[in-house]
Amino acid sequence: MTEVESTYRIGEVAERFGVSTRTLRYYEEVGLIVPSGKSPGGSRRYSDADITRIERVLELRNVMGFELDRIADIVGAENRFEDLRDEYHRSDSLERHVEIVVELMSINDDLRAHVAEKLAVLEAFAHDLDARAERLRAVQAELTSTPAT
């Protein structure tokens, strides 16, 4: 049995990820990320596993712009998978394993499709901006080359 080390204070974690302590407390409030430890005085202690989850949650929030409910669904499924892996050898049901793997594959594929879509839109937007830049340069050249009317 290895001890679960809960070493990080909320302030450190917040600064590390560029969020407010309020955000982390809110995520606990809605049950999204509950720190695995507390100091005797009652302040939150985040473990390395907590950090990993926070990273994932913020990735889904920042990159995909998902609502917290949706993020909870995704990381919830991922956590069930991790839990099963941890108790791999005393697993009571192989079918349950397969079930969860299939569910994760589905979630993963959905996400992947969503990302591909976003990538396409972003690339189109980038080309738009490049075209705009080109036009602006043309206008600027015209303005600065023409003497005052």
Partner DNA sequence: TTGCTCCTCACGTCACGTGAGGTGGC
Biggest CA-to-CA distance, the chain: 86
Say how far apart CA 92 and CA 100 lie, in whole Å: 14
Give the one residue of 74, 87, 94, 145 binding a copy of itself; rule: CB under 8 A. Answer: 94
- Selection from DNA, a copy of itself, none that 104 binds (CB < 5 to 8 A by kind) is a copy of itself
Q: Are 37 and 27 in contact (CB under 8 A)?
A: no
| SS3 at position 88 | coil
Nearer to a copy of itself, 2 or 149 (CB): 149
In the beta sheet, which residues pair with residue 44?
38
Length, in residues, of the chain: 149
Shortest Cβ 97–a copy of itself spacing (Å): 5
Per partner kind, with CB cut-offs from 5 to 8 A, the member of a copy of itself, DNA, none near residue 34 is none
Size of the site for DNA (CB under 7 A): 24
Give the full edge-to-edge strand order of the sheet including 6-9: 6-9, 44-47, 37-38
Binding site for a copy of itself (CB under 8 A): 59, 62-63, 65, 94, 97-98, 101-102, 104-105, 108-109, 111-112, 115-116, 118-119, 121-123, 125-126, 129-130, 132-133, 136-137, 139-140, 143-144, 148-149
